[in-house]
Each structure stands twice: as C-alpha cells, then as structure tokens.
Structure 1
Amino acid sequence: MKILYLNHYAGSPSLGMEYRPYYLAREWVRAGNEVAIVAATFSHVRTKQPQKAREEVDGIAYLWLPTPTYRGNGLGRVKNIWSFLHQVWQLAPTLATKYKPDVVIASSTYPMDIWVARHIAKMAKAKLIYEVHDLWPASPMELSGLPWWHPFILLCQKAENDAYRDSNYVVSMLPNVAEHMAQHGLDLRKLRIVPNGISPEEWADAPAPLADPLTHHLNLLKAAGKTIVGYAGSHGLPNALDVLLDAAAMLRNSSLSFILVGDGHEKARLAQRIRNEGLNNVSLFDPVPKSQIPALLAHFDIAYIGWQRTPLYRFGIAPNKLMDYMMAGCAILHSVEAGNDPVTEADCGLTVAPESPQAVAQGLLQLAAATPHQRQDMGQRGRTFVLARHTYPVLAQQFLEVMA
C-alpha cells in the first residue's frame, strides 16, 4: 500500500514533536508499505527545524515545504498555515502522480488540510482519511473564547463538516468524540479510535545517560533523602505548571523537591516566579534529548501531569508524556477533569481536581507517604497498561486495518 501522510507539524526523533506521524509511518514501512510525509519546515512544537527539502528517515520519505516562522497563535501562525496549504494545493498533481497513493491522510491540529488532502485523493483515486488530533473549531472557541461567528471559526467549522462528510474514515486520538462528530454530520460507522502510544524498542535497552548538571542535582536530592516530584514536557499555560508551583509553595518545608524539565512560552515567566517567591524546592532544567527521557523519568519518585479546567476535555485526552510516565513505571499525580483518565483506569497513581493547588499538594503528600514498594507497584500497573494498549506496533496495525 502507498500512503501519503499530510501533517503540517510532523517531526522525527532528531527534530522533536510531533512524533506520532513518524512512529506510525515507521511501523507501516516495516509492514511493507510505502509512506511519504508532507510537512512544513517550521513548527512551534519541534526542537529543531529540518534543513533539507527532502530526506529519508527509516524508510519514510519526508517532503518539507518552506513556511514562514511565527510565535504564538496570532497572524504569523495563520500565515504559516496558509503557506503550507497553498503549496500542497499547488503540488497536488505532482504528489498524486509521483507517490500514486492508495490512501491520503489529512492529519493536523487544524481541519483545513482536509481540502488539500481531498484534492489529492480525487486525483489519485485514493481513499481519504481524516485524523483528528484536537477538535477544531471547538478548541479555539473554548480555550481562547473566540465566538462562533468569527471568520476563522467559520472557516474551521466548514472544514470540519467537510471532513466528516467526505472522508472514507475518521480516525480520532480522543475517545469520546462520537456525539460531537455525529452532530456535525459524521456517519459513525466511519469513526475509529486510535490513541497515542509509545515505541517499546526505545525502552528495551539501557537508556542514554543524563548529562550534568541535571544528573548531579538529582543525585544530590536523592542523597539528601528528598522525594522527587518531576515534570517533563512543554512549559505552556495548558500544562498547569502554576498550579504545581502553588503546591510547591505550600510544601516548601516538606521532604518533596520539584524538578521541571522542558521548554516553552511560559518557562521564563515561571523561572522569574520561582526567584521572586524564593521557591528553593523547585528547579528548572532545559529539555533533554528523547533518548534520555527513560533515564530522566527513572529518577522521579512521583511524576506530575496537570491540565486546565475546561469543558473541552469532555471529549477525552491523549497526552504523549503520560504514556512515557506510565512506560517508565512512575507513580503519577494527575490533576485533571476529563472524559477519560488513563491513570485511574490503570490504577497507577492518584487523580485530583484540576486548578486546585490544595488538591495537588494533598495528592503529592499522599503519594509521598506511600512506601517505595507501593509506588513501584503503581508504576508497574501503568507500564502493563501501556504495553497492552498503547504501543505503536499495535496502534499502527489498527490504523492499517482502517486503511485496508
């Protein structure tokens, strides 16, 4: 089978997120299929940006289309989106004839890529699959407060409705979307759920060692008998790190120490807040390479993941870092209110209310009071859960069955 995968923000192990397109495509290639990924040269979620127009990574053909840089979610990002879609539309005849796809997948945060994917699929007489990461325009409406009559929202709504109507199948990472999609015209017989996951082989061998000064700092905390509460991931408003800092302030005289590893728009402000408030029990570190994530998480006694309180999460959540936490065998403090909760399902930690520093602090103390053996048991249950349901070889096969 020949698969053309359109994902504006696609990444790779060397470039950073988004990892999902790479891991799915790699498994499809291993199963004997041909896969080409079309993506933009600039994405705000990547650690690095590609330097070539074309390259092959683990048998996957990448085509990088030049797009302007941007910061935040303003006009610059809109220009970036428009540039990518315009180029894909212009290249549609070439993509259809060069790659001769049997399947075209439209896969991005925003839904307007369905139009260019549909254009290519018609030319190639290929199946059309729409892959949903986040529900747009529901996300910008509920998170940013944009009204339904805003031109951008109307554009997104038109694209979402067209995607549900014209796709052969819709694949969603979010589990509780059926009612919403049916209201916007989807025949639910076309809906399949394929969540996020992990690559087991990245956890099979001894992890790449962490570099100093992070290793030195973690070892000092262990030697001092501290219970390490860790967070690894993006430092943005949706990650509820202010709530974690509020909890850290309440627990400054406890045996808990907090480590935040990563980068993002909010990191500088969070660092300033830590200095201003004298939160000596909190340390910030730069992101580590993906190959070092297992070694980093092995140092965490408790792993934190938090969310804002928003009705949007009624459709479900599918965070990559939660899969990593579970695979690492971490006991997890999950601060969320959502349509699904893998931590509760797996019984691998504790779930508390979102945007509540008191609940987070109390939950952390409860997990810290558990014995190391009890926390290890929690972690093992999480790892078993992920291996059974969330490995990319399994998920890629589920996706292949949709395409076939």
Structure 2
Amino acid sequence: MNILFITDNFPPEVNAPATRTYEHCKEWVRQGARVTVITGAPNFPQGKVFDGYKNKLYQKEVVDGIQVVRVWTYITRNQGFMRRTLDYLSFAFTSFLAGLFQKADVIVATSPQFFTTWAGWALSKLKRKPWVFELRDLWPESIKSVGALNDGKLYQFLEKIELGLYDSADHIIPNTDAFRKNLIERGVDKNGISVITNGSNLDLFTPPPNGQTDALKAKLGISDKFTVGYIGTHGMAHALDFIVDSVYEMQDANIHFLFIGDGAEKENIRQKVEKYKLTNVTMLDPVPKNDMPLYLSIIDVSLVPLKKSDTFKTVIPSKIFEAAAMDKPVLLGVDGQARKIIEKYESGLYFNPENKADFIEKTRLIADNKELYKSLARNCRRLATDFDRKKLANEMLEVLSRV
C-alpha cells in the first residue's frame, strides 16, 4: 500500500504533530507500507529554517524508510494571525503541486493546520483516490478560543469549509473521543470516524543512566529541588503567563520550575519572570527529541496546562503520555478528556485551569506528600503501556487499509 501523508510539521521539528506523524509512519514502513510524507523545511516554532536545510521549491530525503518530500513555504514565526495564515496557505498550495507526482493508494492530510486538508481533498479528487482527514484540533474553533479570531463572518466561512471537508473525506481519524462526539453532533456520519489517540513511545522514553541525570541536575542547580517541568511550545493556548503569576504568588523556593521550548509567548514569559525576579524559574531553549527523555528524567512532575476554554476539554495533550512513559506524574490544567485519563489511571493531579489557588494547592500537595507522589509515579507505567504508540499506529494502519 502506498500512503501519501501531508503534514506541516515533521522531524527534526519536535512538536506533537511532527512526533505523532513520524512515529506512525515509521511503524507503517516496518509493517511493509510505502510511505511518502510531504512537508516543509523544518522551522517551527522560531520561523527559522533549521541548520542543514533550505527553504527550496522541492527536495527529497529518506528518514527511517519514509520518503520525505520537502516543499517551499512562506515561513514566519509562530505568531500573528495573517502571517501564519499565509504560511499555511502556501504549504497547502505547494504540497498539492508536489502531491501530483507522488504515488498514492490512500491520501492522509492532518490538521492542524487546517489548510493542509485542502491539499488532501484536492489531490483526492484529481487522483481519484480516497483521502483521510486526521483531526488533531477543532480548527477554526481552537483559534477562536485563544482570542486570535472572533465569531464573525470569517469564522463562519471557515467553519462551513471545515464541515464540507468532513463530509468529503472518505474517513476521519480524530485523536480524542470528544472530537468524535463533536463531529457526530454536527451531522457527520459516525460510521466514517475512527478514534486513534496520541500515545507513548516506549522505545524512546526510557530513563537514562542516573549519572547523566545527576550531572544535568547539578549543571542547572536543581539537585536538591522538587522540580516541576514544562517541555513544549510556549504558545497562546498554554497559559504559561498564568503559571508564572502563580509561582510569584506561591513564593516557595523549594519548588523549582523548568520551562523548555520556544514559541510566540516565550519572550513575554521571560519578561514576566525577570519582572518578578523569580530565582526558582529556569528557562531553556528547545532540545532535540532524542534528548527529551534526559530532560524529563531531571524533573519530578510534568506540567501540562492550557487556557480555560470548553474547546480544550476535547483535547488530550501528548505530554501526558511522554511523562507517563518516564514514570513522571502530571500536574494537569486541562479539563475534560485529559482529566478523565489522569484520574482513571491515578497518575497525576488535576487543577482548575487558570485558577491560582487550586494550582498552588495541588503543586504543594504533590511536592510535600511523598506517599502520594510515589503512588502516582507507580501508576504511570500502566497508562503508558495502555497507550503504546506502536499499537495505536497499527490500529490506524488497519483503518487506512480498509479505506
């Protein structure tokens, strides 16, 4: 089977979309499929092309058996609605052109970003091949929820296109049950939907030798600290400004906060840390995906926050599964689907999103109650095993085979 996969993000980018796509495609190749990925030059989230790459019209490489085609896009930093929209539209156009020359028995287009699916739809019509909408974000609803788009004519226009794409797809693969429920309530045929959640890469996320962990802790000056870590994009949706405000109010020098990553809000967060003169906050640049297990090993708790919004009750952040694979409990500020998983497996504590008092209370509880912490950490293994990425990739491959 020839699978043509269109995605705006792919390694060496390290965000959740890039990771999910790469790990699924790698497993499909291992199972005998021929996989071609169309993507752009790696640049997320800084908007700068990574070393060793160029923003060329067309270039090819092979990554772990995956045929990767990189196309030109208008590149901009991950901020500013209009510029990002131009970035997304340019990829939709160039990925469509490149897709015309690729073999495909089935076409998969993944969102976000939303315009990628336009290319999948158009290629499906011209090639007369089925296409699958992989749904990882309810766009444009999620853009509205962070204040980047209001509920006006543009939003209504984009929502009509969104529903049209759902109807035209031969199958839809959302990554949460809540997304599936949302689609069914909006009139999408439930028989054309299969949920494939995010999961844990149990091969990559294994604890490194203690010597490496201890050395990195010493280097960062956190050897004797209870460390709460956030590793990922510093974007508008992640409510990290709220976290810094809470840290300032908490005034607890024994609890250290480690922020690793980049994004549209990073400089604002840095300025707030400096304004408050917080000595128990460390901010680091993004680290390569293969180094993430080491950095997860130096923290005690993985912080997973999002803004308070009904939209985010439908998402399940991939950070949950990465932390679980490393036996790290989660301090979760996301209600809905994610909360259900954490509470079912008793692998972390939930705090009300953007509620300072609750965040401070739960942070102190997980830091001070040693028996509770040990229990939560033990339960992480069962969560990670139940959401093994390889198993989930094979489930998705079965769906693509049926399509």
The answer to whether the superposition gives a TM-score over 0.5 is yes
Q: Does 1:400 align with 2:397?
A: yes
The one-letter amino acid paired with 2:197 is P
* 1:117-136 pair list within 5 angstroms: 117-136=120-139
Letter in 2 for 1:394: K
How many Å separate the matches in 1 of 2:150 and 2:206? 48
* 2:177 match: secondary structure: coil
Long gaps (5+) in structure 1: none
What displacement does 1:20 show?
Answer: 1.1
Of 61, 64, 71, 2:70 maps to 64
Q: Distance in 2 between matches of 1:145 and 1:123?
A: 34
RMSD (CA atoms)? 2.5
Q: Could you say what secondary structure the match of 1:203 adopts?
A: coil
Residue equivalent to 1:329: 327
C-alpha displacement at 1:377, in angstroms? 2.8
Please point out which of 376, 384, 399 is paired with 1:386: 384
Sequence identity, in percent? Answer: 23
Inter-partner Cα distance in structure 1 for 2:207 and 2:139: 39
Q: Could you tell me which amino acid in structure 1 is paired with residue 138 of structure 2?
A: L
Question: In terms of mean alpha carbon deviation, does 226-235 or 154-163 score higher?
Answer: 154-163
Deviation of the 1:226 alpha carbon: 2.5
Q: For 2:5, what is the secondary structure of its paired residue? A: strand
Q: Is the 8 A contact 2:347 2:380 kept in 1?
A: yes
Please say if residues 109 and 133 of structure 1, whose CA atoms lie closer than 8 Å, have aligned partners that are also in contact.
yes
- What do the CA deviations read for 1:200-253 (whole angstroms, capped 9, x no partner)? 1113574698699954344x432xx43222222222232222222223223324
- On the 8 A contact 2:45/2:262 being kept in 1, the answer is no
Amino acid corresponding to residue 392 of structure 1 in structure 2: R
Distance 1:261 1:140 in 2: 24
**2:130 aligned with 1:113, yes or no?**
no
Q: Is there any run of 5+ residues in structure 2 with no aligned partner, and where?
A: none
Structure 1: which amino acid aligns with 2:200?
I
What is the correspondence of 1:284-295 to structure 2 with a 5 Å cutoff?
284-295=283-294
Name the stretch that deviates more: 56-65 or 234-243.
234-243
- When residues 213 and 203 of structure 1 are mapped into structure 2, their CA distance, relative to the original with a 3 A threshold, is closer
1:195 shift after superposition: 1.1
Going from structure 1 to structure 2, the CA distance change for 1:247 and 1:75 (only over 3 Å counts) comes to closer
Q: Equivalents in 1 of 2:274, 2:41: separation in Å?
A: 36
Paired letter, 1:400: L
Residues in 2 aligned to 1:173 and 1:4: alpha-carbon distance in whole angstroms = 19
Residues 67-99 of structure 1: CA deviation (Å, up to 9, x unaligned): 11113133222222222222233345323xxx1
Q: Report the CA distance shift for 1:185/1:73 in structure 2 as closer, same or farther (over 3 A).
A: farther
Q: Could you tell me how far apart the structure 2 residues matched to 1:209 and 1:30 are?
A: 34
Could you tell me whether the CA contact under 8 Å between 2:261 and 2:285 is conserved in 1?
yes
Deviation of 1:183 (Å) = 4.1
1:317 aligned to which of 296, 300, 315: 315
Once the two structures are superposed, the pairs formed by residues 37-186 of structure 1 within 5 Å of their partners are: 37-41=37-41, 43-45=43-45, 49=50, 50-51=53-54, 53-71=59-77, 72-95=79-102, 99=103, 101-144=104-147, 146-151=149-154, 153-186=155-188
Q: Which has the larger displacement, 355-364 or 251-260?
A: 251-260
Given that 2:13 and 2:43 are in contact with CA atoms closer than 8 Å, whether structure 1 keeps it comes out as: no
Q: What is the letter of the counterpart of residue 183 of structure 2?
A: M
Which deviations, in whole Å up to 9, do the C-alpha atoms of 1:302-361 show, x marking residues without a partner?
2222111011123x2221222111111112211222344222122012101110121111
Output the amino acid matched with 1:322.
I
**Are the structure 2 counterparts of residues 351 and 27 from structure 1 closer, same or farther at C-alpha, using a change threshold of 3 Å?**
same
Which range moved further: 300-309 or 127-136? 300-309
TM-score, L = length of structure 2: 0.89
2:95 & 2:222 partners in 1: Cα distance?
Answer: 51
CA distance in 1, matches of 2:94, 2:44: 19
Alignment coverage as a number of residue pairs: 391
The residue identity in structure 2 corresponding to 1:114 is: T
Q: Distance in 2 between matches of 1:345 and 1:73?
A: 38
Confirm or deny: 8 A CA contact 2:205 2:322 kept in the other structure.
Answer: no
Conserved 8 A contact 1:237-1:266: yes
Change (3 A) 1:374 1:194: same
Q: 1:55 to 1:308 in 2, by over 3 A?
A: same
Instruction: Write the letter of the residue equivalent to 2:184.
Output: A
Residue equivalent to 1:304: 303
| Cα pair distance change 1:286/1:340, threshold 3 Å | closer
How far residue 154 of structure 1 moved from its aligned partner, in angstroms, is 4.0
Matching of residue 231 in structure 1 with residue 230 in structure 2? yes
In 2, Cα distance between the equivalents of 1:31 and 1:276? 53
Tell me the secondary structure at the aligned position of residue 149 of structure 2. Answer: coil
Instruction: State the SS of the aligned residue for 2:100.
Output: helix
> Residue type of the partner of 2:27?
E
Query: Any idea what the Cα deviations from partners look like across 1:286-306, whole Å, max 9, x if unmatched?
Result: 222222221222222222221
**1:44 Cα offset (Å):** 3.0
Sort the Cα spacing of 1:241 and 1:147 in 2 relative to 1 into closer, same or farther, 3 A. closer
TM-score by structure 1 length?
0.88
Q: 1:234 to 1:117 in 2, by over 3 A?
A: closer
How far apart, CA to CA, are the structure 2 residues paired with 1:146 and 1:398?
A: 35
